[in-house]
Amino acid sequence: MHQNHLKDGKDLTQMAIGGFSETANEGVGFGLGFATTLDTVKSGSIAAGDFYWGGAASTIFWVDPKEDLVVIFMTQLMPSATFNFRGQLRNIVYSAIVE
């Protein structure tokens, strides 16, 4: 479900119509229900192979199998683009991981 199912391994930039997403589509694929990072450089993401989805009111969940990590963030701020909770949360979580 979390592997890219877009035709020919394309990313959302090559397949999306219009400006639906609040996040960049470069380097991001789509599985059966959620987005997945294909290329960390293009997407500006921290973890390749993670999968995630954001909802209304700035909510987000993501799973990073490589780090054995699951994050569920629930908040109520609309519109979601009002404050970058999602980007800051990722940075805080990953910077707290001690190898």
CA distance 54 to 62: 9
Task: Report, as an integer, the average pLDDT of 2-30.
Answer: 80
Q: Which pLDDT does position 73 carry in this prediction?
A: 94
Q: What band does 48 get if pLDDT is binned at 50, 70 and 90?
A: confident
User: How would residue 81 be classed by pLDDT, with cut points 50, 70 and 90?
Assistant: confident
Judged against a pLDDT cut of 90, whether residue 55 lies above it is answered with no
DSSP-derived pairing of the beta strands 69-73 and 51-54: unpaired
Instruction: Kindly tell me the burial class for residue 55, based on how many C-beta atoms sit within 10 Å of its own C-beta (0-12, 13-18, 19 or more).
Output: exposed
Question: Please, are residues 43 and 27 in contact by the beta-carbon 8 Å criterion?
Answer: yes
